[in-house]
Structure formats: C-alpha cells, structure tokens
Copies of this chain bind each other. A is one copy, B any other.
Amino acid sequence: MTDEQKKKYLEPALRYEIIGCYAQTELGHGSNVQGLETTCTYHPESGEFELNSPTLTSSKWWIGGLGKAANHAIVMARLITNGKDYGPHPFIVQIRSLKDHTPLPGVTVGDIGPKLGYNTTDNGFLMFDHVRIPHFNMLAKYSKVDKKTGEYIRPPNAKLSYGTMVFIRANLVMGVRYALARATTIAIRYSAIRSQFVDAANPKKFNGKTVETPVIDYTMQQYRLFPHLAAAYACFFTGRSMMDLYHRNMKNMASGDFSLLADTHATSSGLKSLTTTMAAEAIEDCRRACGGHGYSLFSGLGSFYLDFLPNVTWEGDNYILTQQTARYLFKTFRNLASGKTNRNKETNFTISYLSTYLENPKKTCPITNGEQFLNPELILSSLGHRSAYLIAESVDLIDNKQRSWNSMLVNISRISRAHCQYVLVSNFWTALQSDERLRKNKPLYEAVRDLALLFSLNTLEKELADFLASGYITPAQAPLIKEQVIACLDRIRPNAVALVDAFSLPDYLLNSALGRYDGKVYEAMTSMAEREPLNSTLVVKGYEEHIRPLTPESTIEPTEKKDDRRINLADVDELRVGQYDDEIPSWRATTQETDPTVIRKMIETILSDLTSTESSNLSTDSVLSDPTLKFNLLKRAIKELGKEIPSHKLGQLTTVDEVIAYFTETETPPLRVRDLFEQEGAFPPNVRFEEKH
C-alpha cells in the first residue's frame, strides 16, 4: 500500500471501521496462483478498473471472514491493461454497503458452508459482475498502472516479498512446537494416570496388592509418544533459529545483500512442509494413544486436531512446497560438484554437508557398538550423507538419465524431508551446545540431551531404508540403532511428565479432561458429562413420539400425553418430579426421615466418615468438587434417609448445604408450573411457558 492508501483504508481498518478479508484462492485455483481467472481490466477513459468473474471456477472461494462479516476485500485479480495480461495483482474492493451491510451491485457473496474444523471463521465465496473501482484502489507500493495511459510499471525487486514468507513459516514452525507441546501434554499426563493390564514381568504393587500398570510404563506407549515430545523441543529450537535467520536476512537485504535469502527461503519451505505434517500426525497419534477416551471431545485433542489440519494445505501445500526446496538443493549440488561454488563449510548447513559428501561419496558409518550412536557428530554426518546421497542420485537421474521432473516428484519429496530432518537435528544439538541455561544445569542438560538423542535416533530408525540403501549403514548396524532408541525411552520415562509440565500449558488452554495438571481424569470426565445439555432433562425429547408408541399397552399404564416443548398452564398446574416405579426390591430405608435436625446430623456424620482419612477442611458450603466424595455422600444419604434422588437433580446439588436442603424438603408441596418457571434452571431452555388467556 502507498501512504495515501494506508490513510484511506488501513487506518479505518485498524479502528475496525472497515472489516477486510484477503481474497486470493478461487474455486478452481488454489496451489497455482498464476492460474487465477478473476480479471481486473483498466479503463483509462474513466480512470476505473473493472473486476469480473468470467467463469464459475473463477469464483473466489475459502476467503476467511468474507462469508458474512467483511465489507471490504483485497482481491487478487489478473491485471489487464492496454490489452495485455500482467497476471495476478491486488486490488481493494468494497463488497458490502456500510449503510446496511447488503452486498453492493454486481457482487455475489456468501458463506461456503461447513468445514471439518475452523467453523468459527466464515469462509466465503465472491463473484464480480463487471464491478468498477477507482484507479486509486490498486495496491501500488510495488507495481503500478499509469492513470492516464494505462501503462504498466514494474516493481523494483520481486525478491523482497520472499522475506515475509520466511517470517510466516518461522511462525508456523513455532506453532508446530506449540501444537506438539499441547498434544503430548495431554497424552503423557493421561498415560501416567491410566492403568491397563498387569505387566507380568514387572507387576505394580499398591498397598501390597498387585494393581494394573500405568500405560506410560509400556514400551509401545513410550514409543508412540516420546518421539513427539522430543519433536516439540526440536521445533522450538528450529523455530528460534529460523526467526534469528529471518532477522539477519532482513537486515542484510536492507543493505543489498541477498546471500542468505535462497537457502533461508528454500529451507523454510521444506520445514513448513515437514513440521506441519509431523504435527498433524503427532496430534492424531496422541489422540489414539488415549484409547477410547481420545475420541471424546472432552479429551481436548479432537477439535484441536481438526483445527490444526489446514496447516498441511494452506500457506503452500506440503507436497508442492517440497519442489521449491529440492530445486534449490539440486542447484546448489550442481554448483558445488562443478566447482562453480567453493566448498566452504562455514556458509550454511547445505553447502557444508554437500561439500563433505562430495569429498567422499562412498563414506560409511564407522560404528561397532550401539553406544557409539550417541555421538552427535556421527548422527549429523549420517543425516548429511543421506540427504546428499539422495540429492546426488536424483541429480544424476535428471541430468544423465533424462528423467522428467514429474517422474521425480516422489524422490523430490523425500529429499526435502531428508534435508529438513538434518536441519531439525542440527539445530537441536547446536542449541544444546550453546544455550547457557542448559549448559550450566547438568540434570536439565541430560534430560534435554536424551530428547535430542531420541529425536535423532528415531529419525535414523524411521528413515533406515535410505541409510541402508545408500550403503552408509550396514545391516549389522541397524539393530544397534533400534536398541539405542529403546534405551532412550527408558531414560526419558522418569522425566516424561516433568518434560511436558515444563511447557506450562494451563488447564483452561488444554481444555482436556485427560490432560489436567492435577491428574483428576475420571472426575473431570464425569463432571464434563454432567454438563452435557442432553443430560438436563430426565427423559429425552421425542420419547413420547418415537419410543413410547413401541411399548405395548399391556406393559405401560395409561398416562397423560405430554408435550415437552410447550406446557399449557391450564392443562397442568401441578407436577411432581422424581416419582418412580417401586416394583424392584429396594435397598434403602423403608421410611423416609423427615426431621430436619436428624437429617442434618446424619449428613454431617456421613461426611465426617468419608473425609476422616484425609485432613479435610470441607465446610458445609464448600463445593463438592470431588465426584467420588459426592457420589458416596449421596449414596449413603439415600440409604439412611430413605429418599431417592432423580438423576437430573444430581448436577444441581453442588454443596453439602444444598444436599441437606434437598433431604429436608420432605413435604415437597405439589409444584406450581408458574413458580417453577421463576426458578432458573428448573426447566431446559427449550420449554416455553404460556399463560392461558
């Protein structure tokens, strides 16, 4: 934007007077921005641009905030001036009236409908039918169109915008670190609470009795979760290093030095691809590692996963992006191989490991026992050699075997992955060596070093086929790596909960019954279920219509047919809740206690029985936040006092005083519907009250 454009549009937008959106993607065009179809034709005679959507596929689609909220859009449209098409450029267009929010003439706009997640955003569609906007509205910081002649004026340097992409991607990698932290916090905490089966070789004892083993003690569970924990730390260190590199590069570019740009941009493309794919996998792995309860939305993992998923597609599809990375790696390799570039190992990661490879492409791994795999230099040499080997193999196929780019896409995706795994591992070890706080605190250093080892060795193990196929690692060495991975899991186990607690993600943010800091998993599941709206009524809506007619008349006694949506005062002015069949043998006292003093005393006695083992300071107006305590209290109270509590009342009794009050109301008078409606929560919100005329 020019300064005038900022004044007219950006300033009011910052005051929320304008609600904007960015309209680039089209119904038929996502990955290929150059293929956009919306046109914006300049008419010098009137000094206006004319936006048009020539086809159905040119409809803007997926635009966040556009569906219902935005009144302006920055629209990417093909600039056509003096009969020539200059490709996509950005224009500011008002799309809805500021008077009444109705769409302006020629504008068709709406919401694109439901999505897998992200449903708080009104993604929209937009079509233009020859909509005219003033010359002023083309964003003109870089490219311009001369108002009088319509002549196109090119931007000074197209590379400038690449810097911003690096910034966005560094933030995405930091976002991945956060996503991994959140998912592993939930799954690891829950795995420490949840027990299943008895590990026969190493049974857990509690009060001298054999109990089930916490699932976190099973190697398989550790293998499923700990690598993701290690990856959270890896992404943190790489995100931090990308951000540093971004700032250095921006500073350099400002003084005309573009030397950092190519590597930074290519690596950031591959890292966005690799890390967001890793995170999507990790969240789902964590969810599945929570067993059945992972499928409940109370786990906090389901919606989070769905909201994270767009990351693998937006800001560059994760497969498409790898081509940018590989193209740069091939070029760098060719330049180093031909001697066009000096083999200078100080320049950057890429040049360094490619140079090492070119010095000795037949190098092999010199390991004879497993412990030698714990050496970071050896790990990095292995990863560097593998990436370089894959690059060399593909460059050979393209340059010497006439393989087409298209036929190489599978290799290309692997190469980008290999390069970025090198970068992640390398940044992890660099951080361990250079971070003062880690170096000065030995136990902390060792805990984080074990994560670095796990991340490194698990990467070697997952990608073992590449190392074996290149001949760098021998079949005899392969089991040594696997052994060391299991040994890492064993060392990390005692620190696992502390390592997720260290992320300090508060409970309200985790929004998870399973991942609570206090470990009260089952209490939280229960109390979340109590709040489920379906549980606010005793009998499900639709019972009268759908279930009752199935029951033969001989089984049921005739009763009034009720409409639970609308109660007419004239028809029923009295009702009782909680009346039951009494045909089943009852275990509770046969006479109902009515003396308020006795009731209070009894409940206090039960309470003191139940809490005597703990040093409890529960007063009668404290909230009964422990469901086990509440359950036992109510159970004994029902038994001793002879009064039943209907299920739907359970959620309403939150303090001991309320429990006492409930049992004291022995002579509940028939309730007047009129009065019930005065009480908040007495009826579900879908019940309306109508006074009879």
Contact = CB atoms under 8 A, between A and B. Distances in A.
Interface stretch (A143-151, A349-357, A401-409): A401-409
Contacts of A122: 534, 540
Nearest to A16: B550
A103 to B, nearest CB: 5
A371 to B, nearest CB: 17
A317 B197 CA distance: 13
Interface string A78-105: 0000000000000000000111111111
Interface stretch (A154-162, A308-316, A592-600): A308-316
Q: What's the number of copies of this chain in the assembled complex? A: 2
Contact of A103 (B129, B587, B647): B647
Interface stretch (A177-185, A333-341, A521-529, A666-674): A521-529
Contacts of A478: 465, 468-469
A542 to B, nearest CB: 9
Interface in A274-294: 288, 291-294
A559 B219 CA distance: 68
Contact of A106 (B59, B125, B587, B627): B587
A566 interface: no
A531 B29 CA distance: 23
Contact of A132 (B19, B412, B585): B585
A220 interface: yes
Contacts of A475: 468-471
Interface residues of A, number: 152
A44 interface: no
A201 interface: yes
Interface string A128-148: 011110000000000000000
Contacts of A367: none
A584 B529 contact: no
27 contacts: A17-B550, A27-B525, A30-B196, A30-B293, A31-B196, A32-B197, A32-B212, A35-B212, A56-B522, A57-B522, A97-B581, A99-B557, A101-B543, A101-B548, A105-B588, A110-B529, A110-B532, A110-B647, A113-B534, A129-B635, A131-B584, A132-B587, A218-B409, A288-B318, A464-B465, A464-B468, A468-B468
Given A106-B586, A107-B647, A122-B540, 13 more contacts: A32-B197, A32-B212, A57-B522, A61-B292, A106-B584, A108-B647, A113-B531, A116-B295, A116-B302, A219-B410, A292-B314, A468-B469, A468-B478
